[in-house]
Amino acid sequence: MRDVQLLKEMGGNFLRVSHYPQDPAVLAACDRLGILASVEIPIVNAITESPAFFETCRTMQTELIRQNFNHPSVVIWGYMNEVLLRLPAGLKRDNDPGRAYLRRVRALAQQLDSLTRREDPARATMLVCHGDFNLYQQAGLLSIPQVIGWNLYQGWYAGNLQGFPDFLDRHHKELPTKPMLVTEYGADSDERLHSFSPRRFDKTTEYANRYHEFYLQAILDRPFVAGSTVWNLAEFNSESRQEAVPHINNKSLLTGDRRPKDAYLYYQARLLKTPFLCVGSRAWTLRAGQAAGPDSLFCRQPVAVYTNQPTARLLLNGRDLGTQPAALGVAHFSVPFGPGPNQLRAQATGLALEDAADIEFQLLPNNLSSNKLPFTELNVSLGDERTFTDAMLHQVWVPEQPYAPGGWGYVGGHVYRLPGDRLPYGSDRNILGTSYDALYETQRLGLREFRLDVPDGEYEVTLHFAELEAAPATEQLAYNLAGNPAASGAPAPTGRAFAVLLNGQALSPFSSATNLPPLRAVRVKVPVAARGGRGIVVEFRPEAGEACLNGIQVRRQY
């Protein structure tokens, strides 16, 4: 009941119950709350070409309809989901066995569609397809149901965002009389990850925001799209997934404990008819960034305010930051965060409508020897363009940067990337021995040094490593429509071995044959003294392959 209520509070009016019938309480909640629904039976990815399978499918569809016939919320009966996603081994769309298989799928679809129309002529039938228009057209499936559902992920698993409206327009051009729904779309969003330059498949909140804003506008611009359903309302367990949050599908509008992500607030701003205003990034209450200049005590970062009002005003600790227009539900502000607590208060112009958020900001000195802003700690994710917030340990990991005198950064090397075009950087594999997979999935290879021009004193340095190249192969994601080889792993041909020196002090050698096992987090914590104005220098000396570093933490002790 609560999930359906959250859907209604978002401004939604339609729920796809997929990919199988669920607890009767779901449709009962839809009935009470006025939410339309589609339901379907679990024929997913492929079929079995046997009389028993066909009979079981017909029985399931009959029972689905008769059990749920009296629910007024049900408007669509579905019977297949992405049934051509995985052709059986040895079958291809252009060989005789493959064409025979497609004919069998069509025969089953026709049987189920005819059965459904006999059982309930008043409601629509629907077949849900993945984004291979030509294959479903070749199989003859697009002409059978009354409604076609498309699960589309352009700009996520493959391609770019523009591929989505192009696909919708193709359907309308080639099937102008066939109603369509966008039955799945979405982008992973780990609420710990943020980027001011988001990229496809980086798992940040900001890319998910861009994705949903683009998709919803494309849908609203096309009256021939009957409706859409985001995949998924809330995060859910998915055992085979690895990536930044192993075993969880976080392609969602709510967290697992039902806290709203930015995308949920965006839909509220676009869909609700009652006045709405909310400061974005509700979970991002601990931020960090580098001071704007050597003598500055602030760092500018963007903040979004979601509202269905024409304009929004934002105040920082009582200081007026001005009023901005809300373009398509979002008003954008540049906020000069200072160190420590920062209170944001958003207001709607002309209405008694406001929202507040408290942000703690960890301001990093532009010059590490600054007296105005003394250095205390630094957490850096190497090979990364994202910020990672660890609320439990009260730490913020910032993206890497090249070294500049007076500051900190790497010297030499390159970002670790898998082959293919899906991941912008890093790996998508589960890293053992840690719950901070996102930090260990990125690394810089071949670096010569990491330098910090900290003042003289005593420090604690923690180095983080994970062997990403000598990794075993893994099964590709089912939705990997581009056939990207990135998920297969890239075994290192010669292994890796390198030495690390910390201010001249040699640490134990590192090797993929000994203390750097594949896909496992390795941490080394070392005390170090900075003397004579030389700061901290971490040197990397390769012996075989390239040296690597996934993360570094530096804390001043006294």
Domains of the chain: 2-275 (3.20.20.80), 292-361 (2.60.40.10), 380-386+399-556 (2.60.120)
Burial class (CB in 10 A: 0-12, 13-18, 19+), 53: middle
The structure tokens listed for 476 are 């590709």
Calpha distance 238→245 (Å, rounded) = 10
pLDDT of amino acid 240: 84
pLDDT of amino acid 45: 96
The SS3 call for residue 303 is strand
Calpha distance 240→219 (Å, rounded) = 31
pLDDT of amino acid 241: 84
CA-nearest of 445, 413, 442 to 427 is 442
Give CA 482 to chain center in angstroms.
Answer: 18
The structure tokens listed for 92 are 């291809």
pLDDT digits (tens, 9 = 90+) for 81-101: 999 999 999 899 999 999 999
pLDDT of amino acid 475: 53
pLDDT of amino acid 484: 44
Q: Is the separation of the CB atoms in 21 and 78 below 8 Å?
A: no
Q: Which of 73-87, 350-364, 400-414, 416-430 has the lowest mean pLDDT?
A: 416-430
pLDDT digits (tens, 9 = 90+) for 259-292: 999 999 999 999 999 999 999 998 899 999 999 9
Where does residue 446 fall: left (phi above 0), alpha (psi -120 to 50 degrees), or beta otherwise? Answer: left
Q: pTM for the whole thing?
A: 0.94
Calpha distance 289→306 (Å, rounded) = 23
The H or E element containing residue 171 is: helix 163-174
If you search the block for the tokens 């327009």, which residue do you land on? Answer: 169
Is the pLDDT at 309 greater than 80? The verdict is yes
Q: Which of 214-218, 295-299, 408-412, 550-554 has the lowest mean pLDDT?
A: 295-299
pLDDT digits (tens, 9 = 90+) for 20-77: 999 999 999 999 999 999 999 999 999 999 999 999 999 999 999 999 999 999 999 9
| Mean pLDDT, rounded, of the chain | 94
Q: Give, in order, the Cα–Cα distances in Å from 24 to each of 13, 46, 183, 251, 425.
A: 18, 27, 21, 25, 44
Calpha distance 451→59 (Å, rounded) = 68
Burial 181-198 (b: 16+ CB within 10 A, else e): bbbbbbbbbbbbbbbeeb
Is the pLDDT at 477 greater than 60? The verdict is no
pLDDT band at 464 (very low <50, low <70, confident <90, very high): very high
Give CA 363 to chain center in angstroms.
Answer: 27
Give the max Cα distance, the chain. Answer: 87
Helix (H) and strand (E) counts for the chain? 9, 33
Higher per-residue confidence, 23 vs 294: 23
pLDDT digits (tens, 9 = 90+) for 129-165: 999 999 999 999 999 999 999 999 999 998 999 999 9
pLDDT of amino acid 482: 47
The answer for residues whose C-beta is within 8 angstroms of residue 546's C-beta and 6 or more apart is 413, 445, 446, 496, 498
For residues 399, 402, 403, 404, the Cα torsion angle rounded to the nearest 10 degrees is -110
Is the pLDDT at 246 greater than 50? The verdict is yes
Is the pLDDT at 487 greater than 50? The verdict is no
pLDDT of amino acid 242: 84
**DSSP label at 488?**
G
pLDDT of amino acid 552: 98
The SS3 call for residue 119 is helix
